[in-house]
A and B are shown apart, each in its own frame.
Chain A
Amino acid sequence: MTRTVAGRPSSTVAAHGLQVALPPRWEARLFLRDALGERGSSVNPVVHLGNFALPPGRGDFGSGAVEVMQAGHAFVALLEYAATEAGTALFAAKGLPRLALSDFAPNALQRRLPGQLGVQRFFTENGRAFCLYVVLGSARGAEQLLDEVHSVLDNVAVSAR
Chain B
Amino acid sequence: MTILVLVETVLLAVLTVLVAGLLRAYGSVLRRLHALDSGGADGPRQFDLLPVPAARRQADADFGPAHDISGETLDGEVVSARVVDVEHDTLLLFLSSGCATCENFWAELGRPGAIQLPRSTRLLVVPQGAADESPADLAALAPAGLDVILSSEAWRDYEVPGSPHVVYVDGASGRIRGEGTGQSLQQVSELLARATGDVGFLAGEPAPKSARDRSQEISVDRELLAAGILPGDPRLYGDEP
- The chain A residues found within 8 Å of chain B, CB to CB, are 1-7, 11-15, 22, 24-32, 52-57
Contact = CB atoms under 8 A, between A and B. Distances in A.
Contacts of A7: 65, 84, 174
B70 A4 contact: yes
Contacts of B82: 4, 25-27, 53
A54 B145 CA distance: 13
A31 B77 contact: yes
B139 interface: no
A4 B68 contact: yes
| Interface size range of chain B in the complex | 20 to 34
A15 B78 contact: yes
A11 B68 contact: yes
Contacts of A53: 81-82, 86, 88, 122
B153 interface: yes
Interface in B116-158: 122, 145-148, 153, 157
A125 to B, nearest CB: 19
14 contacts: A3-B157, A4-B70, A6-B84, A7-B84, A13-B80, A15-B78, A26-B82, A27-B81, A30-B77, A31-B73, A31-B75, A53-B82, A53-B88, A56-B145
Interface centre among B69, B80, B145 (most CB of A within 10 A): B80
Interface of B: 65-70, 73, 75-82, 84-88, 122, 145-148, 153, 157, 174
Contacts of A22: 80
Contacts of A29: 77-80
A11 B79 CA distance: 11
Given A7-B65, A27-B81, A57 B145 contact: yes
Contacts, number: 83
Main secondary structure of the interface of A (DSSP, over half): loop
Contacts of B67: 3-6
B80 A5 contact: no
Nearest to B148: A56
Nearest to B81: A27
Nearest to B73: A56
B122 A31 contact: no
A110 B81 CA distance: 24
Contact of A5 (B65, B87, B122): B65
A2 B174 CA distance: 19
Contacts of A32: 76
Give the 7 A-B CB pairs with smallest separation, nearest first: A4-B68, A31-B77, A6-B65, A30-B78, A6-B84, A56-B147, A6-B174
A53 B153 CA distance: 20
B146 A56 contact: yes
A75 to B, nearest CB: 14
A16 to B, nearest CB: 9
A7 B73 CA distance: 25
B145 A4 contact: no
Given A4-B67, A6-B67, A52-B87, A28 B79 contact: yes
B136 to A, nearest CB: 19
A14 B79 CA distance: 10
